Amino acid sequence: MIKIASKNINFLEKVSKIPVLKHFFILKISENFNDIKSELVLNKFYRDIWVNDKTSKKTEKKRFSDLDIPSFELMKENKDYIIHDIAVSNGICSNDFYELLAEKKKKFEFYISDKFAEIKVKKGFITKAYDNENHLIFAYAGCFYAADKNTFFPLTVLLFKLLQKNKTPEKFDYSLLLLHPEVSEKVKKKKFKFISYDIFNTEIHEKFTFVRAMNILNLGYFNEDKIRTAVINIKKSMKENAVLLVGRTNAKKINNASFFRKQNNKLAHLKDINEGSEIKKIIENL
């Protein structure tokens, strides 16, 4: 059954719409995750995945087509192009930016990160998937049960709560980086370097000349203190003269974003796209 499912994309596309079944099939075949080429199936999987804070995994191709050219123009003032795209979800927007830079035939290093890109799987009578902080994300037994934050059948909610109380396995059978296939391919070819980076805690010192943090430092996700902590942390990771892009895509798919340049340990405002970032004042007052 699993063999048939993994070779039959139409079938997978249908089951991926059924909450209770989708993780079962997709995770069962996930050891071959990178071979699933269907955008529909992959998007369903990435987007519905449970993230252990208020953020979502939502992203889409060409989301930043109005930001990529100004980013490139502002980057040009630096000799080196060392880019870090933070909280990339499946990384498809990093891929768009990569293609633009490659077209311009520039030499660049491109780092991508996302705290919750990796899931770790323990197989068994009940197969369980965990995030990198060892929180249970979802689980299934046979094909009858799967639980995540979007599944509200009372029995599955109860079972999920019980399973959350179980001890986290010491060893996992395999882990997956939930990246878009085009991004995985570039990681394999070392065109992208995937790094582990938690926007609040990971310290990197004066490495990057361009940093992008889109749709992560939103006031709807984190309070001002948390956002300040994250921006101070990002600033540390930037070289003098490096450029920072932060912003949020609104419900009408408009990117309200702002660019800053690191100068004398401050982030000086450079320009806004549309209304600018909602956290512009926080950054300017750091």
Please give the backbone phi and psi of residue 205, each rounded to the nearest 5 degrees, phi first: -110, 120
Give the DSSP letter of residue 108.
-
- Give me the torsion for CA of 251, 49, 3, 13, rounded to 10°: -20
Query: Which of residues 41, 75, 83, 87 is near ligand SAM by CB under 6 A?
Result: 87
Interface with ligand SAM in residues 205-234 (CB under 6 A): 214-216
Query: Which of residues 35, 53, 77, 224 is near ligand SAM by CB under 6 A?
Result: 53
> Of 196 and 241, which has the nearer Cβ to ligand SAM?
196
Burial class, 18, CB count within 10 angstroms (exposed 0-12 / middle 13-18 / buried 19+) = exposed
Query: Which of residues 16, 43, 89, 277 is near ligand SAM by CB under 6 A?
Result: 89
Task: Say if strands 192-195 and 208-214 run parallel, antiparallel, or are unpaired.
Answer: unpaired
First to last CA, the chain: 57
With CB under 6 A, what is the number of residues at the site for ligand SAM? 21
What is the smallest separation between the CB atom of 269 and ligand SAM, expressed in angstroms?
21
What is the smallest separation between the CB atom of 105 and ligand SAM, expressed in angstroms?
25
Per-position x/- string for 104-143, each x denoting binding to ligand SAM as judged by CB under 6 A, each - no binding: ----------xxx---------------------------
Q: What would the DSSP string read from start to end of 157-196?
A: HHHHHHHHHSPPPSS-SEEEE---HHHHHHHHTTSEEEE-
- The residues of the shown chain that bind ligand SAM, judged by CB under 6 A, are 51, 53, 55-59, 63, 87-89, 93, 114-116, 198-200, 214-216
